[in-house]
């Protein structure tokens, strides 16, 4: 039960402060006006004698909104947000849950309450907030049971293929949420940087297409609320870490997407932003503490000099300028050195894994967050989910810098990282350069070969996420000058090389961005995602012959992962390019490889580790403008004496010892058995 007492001085402060944004302001003013009108019209002195109790809290937001019992770490820190809530103390009515800490920071509108759930059973508990005068406000809080085997969930891996979607540009499944009251950025499909209406329902409606193509994971650009005035569709300006943007759908609809995707054999990877928020976030106007945002909440641009984190000659000011700087004024940079903010972000990631049954996480602008926090964040996530996969975006073409962040990599310092995977930007750069530059002793395909030769830097190179393009760069078809043969070589490589392939939506139908680098064009609408579209990639209606061929080629290449998953979890061996021809092989690892101690030949040793009964996927790229002939005996070290091989594109049979003619500018895939 709430107890109300009024204080005229508090009402006067509210009236005099038009910038005050608490949702309680209208309630206070209405209450005061009612009292003045109905009871004290002739006696303002009587009104002045009334006082408010702290217990008159109308709305309290609780983050996380619920938790689970049986977690690896038994404590959870709740952030309570409400007008004046920091003036309260917290207690709990349960015998199996205790309040171990209650703390306020600089703002009176936040209270941090830590619960110990070590002995808790699933159910609901009541958290009582006690005002200084003894009155109280109760919060009903749920501690849920976890899904069976939640902790042992297996994340995405090398046997998978990821489909990257810009949700606003993929498919409009629910026109009723194209524009939503209270959100200024409304539907404007004619604006390349505007909202186009794609949503979660559009993804759900087309899960058949995604699965039929052969994709086994979906990575969607962020779906959380971005309550910004404009250019909000990309999703990287979070304004509520626990709420799906209503223009995409709802939290329950996101759960439904995960469930329906799982029924199709497809996992869900969530794109998380730890480094910054949108300027429309409540933390900007009312920071829990003065140090919640970097640079005292004032814009200072980042230098983007990620090298400073690794430079043995760097000075501290350069490191700080990189990590603490903001991307743009509309994206305030978070200070994860604040332990309460760090805990908030860690718990938020865990909450979404549990709530939406995620198979993985992609972390935006990974290295821009505080290094110590990233160690804590990854360690905590992997303690809770030892088999989950998390991939960090470290946009560097230097593999030494990229490898630094992956767990198990050799580092120049004692930094601890539990991050399983990183995005392989160095390989992406090498492939784009290798396929478009002239062949030479140190150019062309050699760029790809030399980049892969640095895999010794990585803790687990086969767990890197590899890609021809993504939402922040030119589409691969444009990168290779809209040459369909080069596109085929690129996509064949990415869908058969070591690592976990990610394909950007529309790559399968040759989407491009000629003569522009504008992200709004790069993220154009997928054909067939809107009722008015005359071409439809989901059904094939209106597609050109080249678009149809490209779509079937991606599907054909992805079928290899479905038919031979163990091969892609296994070894990768390549031959140095010679005269514009580059070859490599994939083969499953042996289940019980023999002891290799005492072996002197490293290559022979590695060959002993493969499964000799497994088929070999042999890929040969011919970048020459004319046909090339290849004696297949050259590759008998990786084909392990197998006699027959089938070419993927046409099912033509060959003997593994014969000479084969490779078409000009071609990607050739052979299944050797």
Question: Active-site residue numbers?
Answer: 364, 393
CB 88 within 8 A of CB 54: yes
| Structural tokens at position 468 | 């021809």
Tokens of 594: 């023999």
| Residues found in the chain | 673
Sequential DSSP letters for 75-112? EEEEEEESTTGGG-EEEE--SS-EEEEEE--S-TTEEE
Identify the helix (H) or strand (E) that includes residue 671.
strand 666-672
Distance CA 241, CA 461 (A): 32
The tokens describing 198, both together, are 């794609």
Q: Which two tokens stand for residue 169?
A: 């540009």
CA torsion through residues 317, 318, 319, 324, sign: positive
Could you tell me where the DSSP H helices lie in 495-627? 519-522, 545-563, 565-568, 602-608
Phi-psi group of 664: left, alpha or beta (phi > 0 → left; psi -120 to 50 → alpha; rest → beta): beta
Q: How far is CA 281 from the centre of its chain?
A: 20
- Please give the backbone phi and psi of residue 451, each rounded to the nearest 5 degrees, phi first: -65, -45
Residue in 638, 624, 631 with CA at minimum distance from that of residue 654: 631
Distances (CA, A) of 8 to 11, 41, 52, 499: 5, 14, 8, 67
DSSP conformation letters of 3-59:
---B-HHHHHHHHH-TT---TTHHHHHHHHHHHHHHT-TT-HHHHHT--B-TT----
If you write DSSP's letter for every residue of 314-337 in order, what string do you get?
--HHHHHHHHH-BSSTTSPBB-TT
Structure tokens at 274: 């730890």
Which distant-in-sequence residues (6+ apart) come within 8 Å of 406 by Cβ? 417, 419, 420, 421, 422, 458, 459, 460, 463, 464
Which DSSP string do the residues of 57-84 spell out, in sequence order?
Answer: ----EEESS-EESS-SS-EEEEEEESTT
Smallest CA-to-CA distance from 206 within 538, 558, 556, 562 is with 538
Q: Calculate the dihedral angle through the C-alpha atoms of 412, 418, 424, 425, rounding to the nearest 10 degrees.
A: -70
Can you say how many angstroms the Cα of residue 523 is from the centroid of all Cα atoms in its chain? 17
Chain-centre distance for alpha carbon 655:
44
Q: How far apart are CA 92 and CA 81, in angstroms?
A: 18
The phi, psi pair for 620, rounded to 5°, reads -130, 120
Query: Would you say 635 and 618 are in contact if contact means Cβ atoms under 8 Å apart?
Result: yes
In terms of C-beta distances under 8 Å and separation of at least 24 residues, what long-range contacts does 593-599 make, across chains too? none
Over its C-alpha atoms, the chain yields an Rg (Å, rounded) of 29
Look at the alpha carbons of 340, 346, 352, 357 in this order and tell me if their dihedral is positive or negative: negative
19-38 b/e (C-beta count within 10 Å ≥ 16 → b): eeebebbeebeebbeebbee
């Amino acid at each position: 039960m709430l107890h109300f007492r009024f204080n005229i001085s508090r009402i006067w402060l509210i009236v005099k402060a038009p910038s005050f944004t608490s949702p309680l302001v209208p309630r206070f003013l209405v209450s005061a006006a009612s009292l003045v009108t109905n009871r004290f019209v002739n006696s303002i002195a009587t009104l002045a004698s009334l006082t408010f109790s702290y217990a008159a809290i109308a709305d309290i937001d609780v983050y996380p909104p619920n938790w689970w019992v049986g977690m690896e770490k038994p404590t959870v820190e709740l952030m309570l947000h409400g007008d004046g809530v920091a003036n309260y103390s917290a207690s709990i009515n349960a015998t199996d849950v205790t309040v171990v800490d209650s703390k306020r920071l600089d703002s009176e509108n936040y209270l941090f309450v830590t619960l110990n759930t070590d002995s808790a059973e699933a159910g609901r508990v009541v958290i009582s907030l006690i005002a200084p005068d003894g009155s109280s406000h109760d919060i009903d809080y749920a501690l849920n049971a976890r899904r069976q085997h939640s902790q042992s969930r297996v994340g995405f891996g090398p046997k998978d293929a990821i489909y990257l979607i810009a949700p606003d540009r993929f498919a409009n499944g629910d026109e009723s949420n194209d524009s939503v009251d209270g959100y200024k950025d409304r539907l404007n499909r004619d604006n390349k940087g505007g909202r186009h209406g794609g949503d979660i329902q559009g993804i759900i409606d087309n899960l058949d297409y995604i699965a039929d193509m052969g994709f086994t994971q979906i990575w969607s650009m962020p779906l959380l609320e971005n309550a910004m005035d404009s250019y909000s569709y990309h999703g990287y300006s979070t304004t509520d870490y626990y709420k799906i943007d209503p223009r995409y759908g709802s939290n329950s609809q996101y759960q439904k997407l995960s469930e329906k995707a799982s029924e199709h054999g497809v996992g869900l990877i969530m794109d998380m932003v730890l480094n910054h928020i949108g300027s429309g976030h409540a933390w900007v106007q009312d920071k829990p503490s003065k140090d919640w945002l970097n640079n005292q909440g004032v814009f200072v641009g980042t230098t983007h000099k990620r090298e400073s984190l690794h430079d043995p000659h760097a000075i501290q000011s350069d490191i700080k300028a990189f990590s603490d700087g903001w991307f743009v004024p509309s994206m305030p940079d978070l200070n994860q050195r604040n332990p309460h903010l760090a805990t908030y972000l860690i718990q938020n990631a865990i909450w979404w894994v549990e709530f939406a049954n995620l198979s993985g996480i992609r972390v935006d602008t990974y290295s821009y967050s505080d290094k110590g926090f990233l160690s804590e964040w990854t360690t905590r996530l992997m303690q809770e989910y030892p088999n989950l996969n998390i991939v960090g975006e470290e946009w560097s073409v230097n593999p030494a810098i990229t490898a630094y962040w992956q767990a198990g990599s050799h580092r120049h310092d004692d930094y601890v990282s539990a991050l399983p995977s990183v995005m392989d930007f160095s390989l992406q750069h090498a492939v784009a350069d290798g396929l478009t530059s002239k062949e030479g002793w140190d150019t062309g395909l050699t760029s790809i070969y030399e980049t892969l030769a640095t895999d010794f830097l990585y803790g687990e190179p086969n767990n890197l996420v590899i890609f021809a393009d993504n939402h922040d760069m030119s589409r691969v078809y444009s990168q290779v000058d809209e040459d369909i043969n080069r596109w085929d070589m690129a996509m064949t490589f990415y869908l058969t090389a070591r690592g976990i392939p990610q394909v950007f939506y529309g790559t399968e139908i040759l989407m491009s961005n000629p003569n522009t680098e504008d992200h709004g064009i790069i993220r154009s609408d997928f054909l067939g995602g809107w009722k008015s579209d005359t071409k439809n990639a989901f059904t094939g209606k209106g597609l050109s012959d080249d678009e149809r061929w490209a779509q079937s080629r991606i599907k054909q290449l992805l079928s290899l992962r479905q038919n031979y998953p163990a091969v892609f979890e296994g070894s990768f061996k390549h031959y140095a390019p010679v005269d514009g021809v580059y070859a490599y092989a994939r083969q499953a690892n042996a289940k019980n490889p023999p002891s290799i101690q005492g072996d002197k030949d490293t290559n022979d040793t590695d060959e002993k580790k493969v499964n000799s009964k497994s088929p070999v996927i042999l890929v040969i790229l011919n970048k020459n403008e004319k046909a090339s002939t290849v004696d297949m005996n050259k590759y008998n070290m990786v084909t392990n004496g197998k006699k027959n091989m089938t070419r993927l594109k046409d099912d033509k049979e060959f003997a593994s010892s014969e000479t084969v003619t490779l078409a000009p500018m071609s990607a050739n895939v052979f299944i050797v058995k």
